[in-house]
Structure 1
């Protein structure tokens, strides 16, 4: 590229394509608008990386993007940091990537961590809190479409219920979680910033609200949080699916966030986040994700969710059992035991004796039991082989009805049934039953 044209237009084009990517958030992927904007930004990223020295200082000819105080690399990074808190997913991800690429290009900066430390020293914790959570300022330059600074709870956004308000608040929470998970997992910031009482973050307040009021509830429950209205609300199956998808996205980001802080900063996290955050509601949410994610809204028929959700939970629970103090782990032990005991809602024997058997639930329960055994949050049965034989006998009676002259199949092998049976069979083998002969069907 011509160096003159690069000097004049590059930062302006960067601004335009970041905004364009945000605008394209709701576009159908088949239109390709997001991919085109991402491709353009990747090209601009390569130009700036190659010509970094050109952008250290502003030049008279360079076009200055709107609201920028200066068209330089330093101001570019500061502007991109603010965009990291946007609610538009692809734009936010690309800005995070650009920040990580551009910071090492600044003269005198040896690492991203050093840049973050310098900002904390000069501006205080509020610098990053405002970028990741928004600000209460009325200034248009710093005001987000939505922000946890102004709306820590869903009902702070409006006095009237509406689906767009719900989605906007959930998107705001996702944006903050993405930002904090990024900086904590990479070691750029320390969770002790949550401990700053003078410039307190609202993230933990918002997460506690989400966990107790939204994560395990339906749209009909959420309507009741708003002042009574003469309007009655009817939700279509599509409304319910969209809400479940948005809610479950927040839950996955929450799991990632907790994993990041405990894996990277176990000692500081104990001081930074009050123990009340690890409430009974959080424990039940995580264990429900283990035993029955469908109840919360996860679609386990989606192959990616079915594979990745247990992996995420396993990493989370390994981190928590390694680093959490015993008093914070105790609710996990007691709730897991309560859920799986003889009269518990996820007792495997009881589920197998149901008529009809909910095989999709058998699948998630057996998988959940093995997961909890692995992280030692639940003890195996006292007599595992005897218990396995009982399960084996029960499974066979559910599959085959013995009549006078012949055996009749008692089960139609749908995908759910087949998956549940396979999971149960694997669990029986896992417990230690000796299988001497396997008949082919």
Structure 2
């Protein structure tokens, strides 16, 4: 069902789990600043403590070891490593300890360099709207690689640049909270340029296993009406091909998009398209899109600006408690869509995130029943097995997430974890899904 050596993993992100936002020299990130704004985060929550992973990482690695995963995908906190642009030895020491703990437990580290927590001092001088930030990402990559590169299995310079662009800069519902509409497009180019420069820096440091983690999903038109088909094509281009074509083909998917990008675009694209060892797909849900109706439409709590040439439509499917449709076949469609578009130019694929939020009950006698999460992962893994059987080279699956954590604008209301976190006490309780995933890995491990 799964190929020899298939990598079974779990995932997290620094700002969502670490806490300790003002300890050992860490500087503020855009998320520290954003969460301080009244009314932008559900419940007024922040990542100041989160899961206290910074102090409890050994306990979390023990959970990973007992889960039986091959790899743990986590992110480095840029403002912990390079506060105000200066190397912070204490920050690097933390990740050195974490990586050593993982390796000792027989777990391969899979490192994301930028998982949305841009240092605030870089945002103050333009952030991803400024070309210089791309070069700062490369410098940061070199610093991290020099310290832990000898033990890292997989590298992802960027996580989900589409979300940073759409929610952070176009709609304003995520940090840094800009509502620029289509004027956010330069942030696409600067993030992708930063990715390419970081790939070069990692290669120069002797690192291998370099890829990217992009959020993608299949897109279908609401009907056969040509207006709906055109709207779906436009949306598909903006949320998928805009972020993958430059990386995998060295070009933007439409001339008008290339024309909207700043700087020496043709030269930059050569850097952006640095060859990768793998391509990471984060999958949560597909989309159905139609022509605009003229009515206000909200996505993840943010109103879409008027005048867009498309409109996301509801999907008739069971929903998570976050309101996201559960469509396992969409994972197969998404991966197959990439295989069809890129053919031999598509590197091996990893599913670098997939998961679901359900409002699980509190533990009773050390147990958290969460059959809906078990059903979610089982169905998505079956869909993944189907696309592998179709001949697509997929080499790993990272369940999002190891623990419940700070879910960005939704705060602590949403729970994605295989492990329940009591935020008042920081007690960890493996859910039924944790035990199920442990058994699944044991039963499906090969090679």
Check whether TM > 0.5.
Answer: no
Which protein has greater RCO, CA pairs closer than 8 Å, 6+ apart? 2
Question: Which structure has greater helix proportion?
Answer: 1
TM-score under structure 1 length normalisation: 0.28
Larger Cα Rg: Structure 1 or Structure 2? Answer: 1
